[in-house]
Chain A
Amino acid sequence: MTEEVNYSDAEEQLVAFKLGREEYGVSILQVVEIKRMTDITRVPHTPDYLRGVINLRGSVLPVIDLKARLNLAAQPYSDDTRIIIVKVDEISVGMIVDAVSEVMAINHANIEAPQTNTSAVAANYISGVGKLENRLVILLNLEAIIGNNQEGKAS
């Protein structure tokens, strides 16, 4: 995962992960760390996708189930399940994903604007689609998913 990747302005570094059979990516600049699955304390009166809170070295961190958030079919957690901790608009959140695959660099030229039929995920959550050899990586718009401009508290 930590293999050396040459970085230049023309490229975007991504943390790529799996949700079901599709591959997704978020900018590495938004990722704080990646954690194994841990005990999550349920918080009542919150939306379903908000699984609860965890103890991250003494501070309390909310965790969302990314698949539930994106309305993807649920799947039991496995050994590969990871929590990616991201920071968006000063909000730190853990996102549960099925597996983290790698850190990759994608040339901006290879990122296409999202098309409505690319994925089951609502178009406003997607910022683009990256093409890498024969793989497709769906780039997520975290600002829309967890940032200030979403209604996270609606139940």
Chain B
Amino acid sequence: MDLNQYMGMFLEESREHLQALNRCILDLESDPGNLSVLDEIFRSAHTIKGMSATMGFTAVAELTHEMENILDLLRKGTLQATPDIIDTIFKCVDTLEQLIESIGNNEENTVDTAPLIERLKALAKGEAPVSAPKTTQAASAPEQKVQSSQTTLTLTESEVSVIQEAKHKGLQAYEVQVGLRAGCLLKSARAYMVMSALDEMGDIIRSVPPVDDLEKENFELQFTVIIVTGEEGEKLQATLLSISEIDSALAVPIAISDAPAVEPAKTEAKPEVETPAVEEKHEKAPAHPSGDKKLRGGQSVRVDIDKLDTLLNLVGELVINKTRLEQIGLTHRLTDLVETIEQMDRVTTDLQNVVMKVRMVPVGQVFNRFPRMVRDLSRELNKEINLIVQGEETELDRTVIDEIGDPLVHLLRNSVDHGIEHPDERQAKGKNPVGEVRLIARHEGNNVIILVEDDGKGINPEVIKKKAVSKGLITQQEADKMDANEAVRIVFLPGFSTAEVVTDVSGRGVGMDAVKNKIESLGGMVDVETKINEGSKFKIRLPLTLAIIQALLVKVSEEIYAIPLGSIDSTINITQEDIKTIQNREVILLRGQIIPIIHLADVLNVPNQAAEKQEELFVVIVHLGEHKAGIIVDNLIGQQEIVIKSLGKLLAGIKVMAGATILGNGQVALIIDIGSLMQ
């Protein structure tokens, strides 16, 4: 069923209901016993749940479902609407907003609802709420007072003198009190529009809260600006009210009593202007306990990733054409041209770097949400855990960043749930009762390594083997043959879970193989090292980017192929005699290791193969996980950065090829997919 046509409607209605929720919860907070408000909240939540379930957005549906449970208890009177519960419900609404916005933007859902759902469940059981760590919203400007047509701010001496000076010039100072509509989604944007509108009409002297806080949405629904302007108060108000989601704007002239020279024409700036006073309830409750989630440094623009891809393609084209010009210059010995192209070379290289950098995002964007998650999880599991995050500034391609969140959540949950022991158990083992989980990102060559380490109980290979055999994932014989390292890697097999009790946190047996699949689909690898009672270390290796990779160009007969450098161990020269046969398979011996060999020309059915066999052979040793193979090619051309291009629909799914790239001379070279080559 195609639900896309209903998407717009879904988004619109959801947003409406979320606004209604925000409004009603505020009402509920001021009047906890009000059943009709509760009913309205319940209806809105129920509608959102129904719609999202129909549309298949399970995260939204699940969250609203849990929220409903709480609301139901409130309605029955089993629970009282304590500030904690209200906070939690607000948090739900915020999270729902995020979820629905990400659906609207067609983004991968990066919001983790699980901690919230657990919290709701805990509340439903009537458990004493884990005191949620407060975000910074408490810091919102303390000066805010109930709105009136009086000025509310006290002026500093320097401000008074500025205003006096302005009066001499015939300007008037106003205190502009702006109120945003309840449930306004883009508070900072609205505030910005107000500020820039005011800025056009006069000079802003001060804003309360300060502009920084406005940008970070560190305010509730009101803010106040002092401005000196030649415009009239009414004009200010009208201008501001024309900005959407502005509920009220009140410009109160500031009278300076001891102004020496009064009587400027503009003093009649109507102090009696009446604007609809903002309803009081807006002041009472925090509308968005979202706090500091939008820390921004500098100005930025959101750009569709497709546009960046196009840009990258165009730069690639430019580089190719430059190479052609270079060749023309060289063949015709045009010194001037060659010199100019050298200049151009520098520019194009810079351009390429910049375009690549534009796509890079610090991994901290994903890491940021983990401290809170680990804290919540450890509280829930009655463990004491210290999460150490390092290398947040490490940059990865945007596409990788978007995908890496879920696998990391899985790994961290596993560490917290299965890895770290309970404090008393740790003490009995002579360990620090506070467990340590480390999340580390760093560069390593052309890869980014992300480590998830814990100092917990480690993974016991014998337990793993037993479990795997009992689940029928491997046979007893296979288990007996495995060494400890191999056994531990069983955790990545589908359908494997060691948790004695299936908990909400993890242990449904879908985790680790999903992690592995995801990371491999990103062109990365995941591995695990563990020592019993010392801890486990999950190591994720990711390519910096999915669009550009380092590759080795090789020649087979007249054809050129690219082998991704990430899969290459080394290249060696051998002679025909070095090739041995074991069980009818050709192998070579490399540092005591038997490595099967693959003739690339045969696999690719390359025509016009040289009749005589070369005496000296080039072998590219590649690896896939633990397995190695030697690929025999005719010649090595060299290492090069290549832009991966898709082969298109018609050629999708062909064997052995991972894509294509365009070489400096404009020719297309195919990229070998080591994974399928080795199978």
Which residues does A use to contact B, with CB under 8 Å? 39, 41-46, 50, 52-55, 57-62, 90-93, 146, 152-153
Q: What's the minimum C-beta distance from B551 to chain A, rounded to whole angstroms?
A: 15
Residue of A nearest to B663 (CB): A55
Residue of A nearest to B660 (CB): A60
On whether the beta carbons of A58 and B651 are closer than 8 Å, the reply is no
Q: What's the minimum C-beta distance from A78 to chain B, rounded to whole angstroms?
A: 21
Which residues does B use to contact A, with CB under 8 Å? 313-314, 316-317, 320, 559, 603-607, 645-651, 653-657, 660, 662, 666-670
Known contacts A60-B662, A153-B654; is A45 also within 8 Å of B669 by CB? no
A-B contact count (CB 8 A): 78
The interface residues of chain B lying within 8 Å CB-to-CB of A57 are 317
On whether the beta carbons of A53 and B651 are closer than 8 Å, the reply is yes
Point out which of A45, A52, A55 has the most chain B C-beta atoms below 10 A from its C-beta.
A55
A146 vs B648: C-alpha distance in the bound complex, in angstroms? 13
A44 vs B557: C-alpha distance in the bound complex, in angstroms? 14
A45 vs B605: C-alpha distance in the bound complex, in angstroms? 8
Known contacts A41-B667, A41-B669; is A62 also within 8 Å of B662 by CB? no
The interface residues of chain B lying within 8 Å CB-to-CB of A39 are 666-667
Known contacts A41-B669, A43-B670, A44-B656; is A59 also within 8 Å of B650 by CB? no
The 8 closest A-B pairs by CB, nearest first: A44-B604, A41-B668, A58-B317, A60-B660, A60-B645, A45-B655, A62-B650, A58-B313
CB-contact partner of B656 in A45, A62, A146, under 8 A: A45
The interface residues of chain A lying within 8 Å CB-to-CB of B606 are 44
On whether the beta carbons of A43 and B320 are closer than 8 Å, the reply is no
A122 vs B645: C-alpha distance in the bound complex, in angstroms? 34
Q: List 19 A-B contacts (CB under 8 A).
A: A41-B660, A41-B669, A41-B670, A44-B605, A44-B657, A45-B605, A52-B668, A53-B651, A53-B670, A55-B320, A57-B317, A58-B313, A59-B645, A60-B645, A60-B668, A62-B647, A62-B648, A152-B650, A153-B654
Q: What's the minimum C-beta distance from B373 to chain A, rounded to whole angstroms?
A: 41
On whether the beta carbons of B651 and A43 are closer than 8 Å, the reply is yes
A93 vs B320: C-alpha distance in the bound complex, in angstroms? 22
A90 vs B660: C-alpha distance in the bound complex, in angstroms? 20
CB-contact partner of A55 in B654, B657, B667, under 8 A: B667
A91 vs B670: C-alpha distance in the bound complex, in angstroms? 20
Q: What's the minimum C-beta distance from A94 to chain B, rounded to whole angstroms?
A: 11
Point out which of A39, A42, A90 has the most chain B C-beta atoms below 10 A from its C-beta.
A42
New A-B contacts (5) at CB < 8 Å, excluding given A44-B603, A46-B654, A61-B648:
A42-B607, A43-B670, A60-B645, A62-B647, A153-B654
Residue of A nearest to B646 (CB): A60
A101 vs B109: C-alpha distance in the bound complex, in angstroms? 54
Q: What's the minimum C-beta distance from A144 to chain B, rounded to whole angstroms?
A: 14
On whether the beta carbons of A53 and B654 are closer than 8 Å, the reply is no
On whether the beta carbons of B605 and A55 are closer than 8 Å, the reply is no
Q: What's the minimum C-beta distance from B636 to chain A, rounded to whole angstroms?
A: 19
On whether the beta carbons of A43 and B647 are closer than 8 Å, the reply is yes
Residue of A nearest to B317 (CB): A58
Residue of B nearest to A39 (CB): B667
Known contacts A53-B660, A60-B660, A60-B668; is A91 also within 8 Å of B653 by CB? no
